[in-house]
Amino acid sequence: MEELLELRQLLEQGKIPEALLLVDELEEMSLSDKINKIDSYGVILLIHLIKQQAEKRSTRSWEISIENAVREINKINQRCKSGGYYLNSIELREILQQGDLIALKRASLEAFEGRYEAEELAAMLNETEILTQALQLIQKTSA
């Protein structure tokens, strides 16, 4: 909010270059916020996909969590006015890869009633397949 007041003052004073720098900063802050939210929902998505693959089963709760995470990722990633997306599929995959270790650690607490450490659980999984599945779910819903 403070930045918007500053932007108004700069525009009223005719300081266009300074105002444009502030607009750039606001755009960067907005994108950073969107990336953080997508990352959080991506971790939730991966947790449930990891549990599904490891336990070779699913629950209604996991399915609903997967659907919700995918819906939220697509909602956050959708550009409102200009159409298109903030992050392309390569950038989405990178974010999912960055959240993979966190998701694995959290899934290890839940899968098999927490009997396996993250490293042991990882040995049961095909990480590439899980990341691909996550990205396909996101892209299928956004299409």
Query: How confident is the model over 87-121, as pLDDT tens digits?
Result: 999 999 999 999 999 999 999 999 999 999 999 99
Q: Are 95 and 11 in contact (CB under 8 A)?
A: no
Integer Cα distance of 20 and 18 in angstroms: 5
Integer Cα distance of 59 and 51 in angstroms: 10
Question: What does the buried/exposed string (b/e) look like for 107-126 if buried means 16 or more CB atoms within 10 Å of the residue's CB?
Answer: bbebbeeeebebeebbeebe
Is the pLDDT confidence value at 70 over 80? yes
What lies within 8 Å, CB to CB, of 6 at 6+ separation is: 22
| Weakest mean pLDDT among 19-33, 37-51, 59-73, 98-112 | 19-33
Tell whether the torsion through CA atoms of 56, 47, 98 and 115 is positive or negative: negative
Cβ neighbour number for residue 131 with a 10 Å cutoff: 19
| Weakest mean pLDDT among 25-29, 60-64, 81-85, 131-135 | 81-85
Mean of the pLDDT values across residues 50-54? 98
pTM greater than the 0.85 cutoff: yes
Q: How far apart are the first and last CA of the chain?
A: 34
Provide DSSP, 2-24: HHHHHHHHHHHTT-HHHHHHHHH
Integer Cα distance of 74 and 136 in angstroms: 12
